Amino acid sequence: MFPRSASSVILAASAALAIAGQTHAQSTVVYADAENKAATLDSSSSPLTLQVAAGSATQSGVIGGSGTVVKTGAGSLTLGASNTYSGPTRVESGTLFATSAAINGGSVQLAGGTWRVNGNAQSIANPISASGASGLTFGTGSNFINGAISSEDSSAVLTIAQGGGGSNTVTFYGSLAGYAGTLALNNRFYRFQNQSGNAFDPSSGRFALWRINSGAQLSYQAGTNNNLSIQLGGLQGAGTLSGGNGAGTGFVNYQIGARGDSTTFSGTIVDGSTKTALTKTGAGSLTLSGANTYSGATAVEAGALIVAGSLGNSTLMVGAAGTLGGTGSIGGAAVVNGVLRPQAAPASAASRLVFGSTLALNGTTTFDLDGPNFSGLTVSAANALTFGGALEFNFISGLSAGSYDLFSFDGASAGDFSSARVIGRGYLTRSGETWIGSFDGYDLNFSETTGDLVVSTTAVPEPAASALLAGGALLGGAAFRRRRFRA
Q: From the centroid of its chain, how far is CA 420?
A: 33
Distance between CA atoms of residues 316 and 294, nearest Å: 12
Contacts of 292 (CB under 8 A, 6+ apart): 268, 269, 270, 309, 310, 311, 312, 314
Specify the pLDDT at position 163.
83
Of the chain, the end-to-end C-alpha distance in Å amounts to 82
The kind and range of the H/E element at 438 are strand 434-439
Q: Which ranges of the chain have pLDDT less than 70?
A: 1-26, 194-200, 223-225, 344-350, 460-487
Distance between CA atoms of residues 275 and 292, nearest Å: 13
Contact indicator for 240, 212 with CB cutoff of 8 Å: yes
The kind and range of the H/E element at 475 are helix 463-486
Distance between CA atoms of residues 188 and 182, nearest Å: 18
The kind and range of the H/E element at 471 are helix 463-486
Specify the pLDDT at position 193.
81
Nearest to 359 by CA among 393, 383, 327, 394: 383
Contact indicator for 378, 405 with CB cutoff of 8 Å: no
Specify the pLDDT at position 445.
98
CA distances from 237 to 160, 194, 248, 426 (A): 14, 25, 28, 42
Rg of the chain over Cα atoms, rounded to whole angstroms, equals: 32
CB atoms within 10 A of CB 238: 17
SS3 198: coil
SS3 112: coil
Specify the pLDDT at position 378.
96
pTM for the model stands at 0.87
Specify the pLDDT at position 164.
73
Specify the pLDDT at position 244.
83
pLDDT digits (tens, 9 = 90+) for 150-187: 998 999 999 999 987 778 999 998 899 999 999 999 99
Specify the pLDDT at position 464.
52
- At CB < 8 A and 24+ separation, what contacts does 67-72 make? 67/12, 67/14, 67/15, 67/43, 68/10, 68/11, 68/12, 68/14, 68/43, 69/10, 69/11, 69/12, 69/15, 69/43, 69/103, 70/10, 70/11, 70/12, 70/13, 71/11, 71/96, 71/113, 72/11, 72/13
Distance between CA atoms of residues 217 and 194, nearest Å: 18
CB atoms within 10 A of CB 86: 15
Which amino acid belongs to residue 12? A
